[in-house]
Amino acid sequence: MGFSSLNKKGLSKCLIDTDLDPEKLHLHISELDPGKSSHERHTHEGIEVIYVISGRATLEIEGNRQTIGPNEAIIMDASKIHCVTNTGREPLRYMVIKTKC
């Protein structure tokens, strides 16, 4: 067993077991200024986790809104229309973890 290095946004180091397919799991850290959204509402395959490191995030999933703060997470079916927005007064820093089924 060995490890190889992956370049992931927001991480200074990310290692993966060389026996694993790196395309099956994606992770990165994003930052959003107050009032900004990550991108337009969208869908994609798999399961997605949003974990808030600092700030407040409002996730819109199929028209339903959920707000989470530091040390809180949402796990969702990424095939549902979704978007992340910083609804707080400070920068939002969060981790995104996506799997492909």
| Structural domain boundaries in the chain | 23-99
Residue 83 CA neighbour count, 13 Å, CB half: 15
Interatomic CA distance for residues 30 and 2, integer angstroms:
28
- For the domain with range 23-99, which CATH number is right: 2.60.120.10, 3.40.190.10, 3.40.50.2300, 1.50.10.10? 2.60.120.10
pTM exceeds 0.85: yes
The amino acid present at 32, given as its one-letter code, is L
Q: What is the pLDDT of residues 39-96, one digit of tens each?
A: 888 889 999 999 999 999 999 999 999 999 999 999 999 999 999 999 999 999 999 9
Alpha-carbon span 47 to 70, nearest angstrom: 21
The token duo for 59 is 């996730």
Round to whole Å and give the CA distance between 90 and 4.
35
Q: How far apart are CA 15 and CA 70, in angstroms?
A: 25
Separation between Cα atoms, residue 35 and residue 68, nearest integer Å: 15
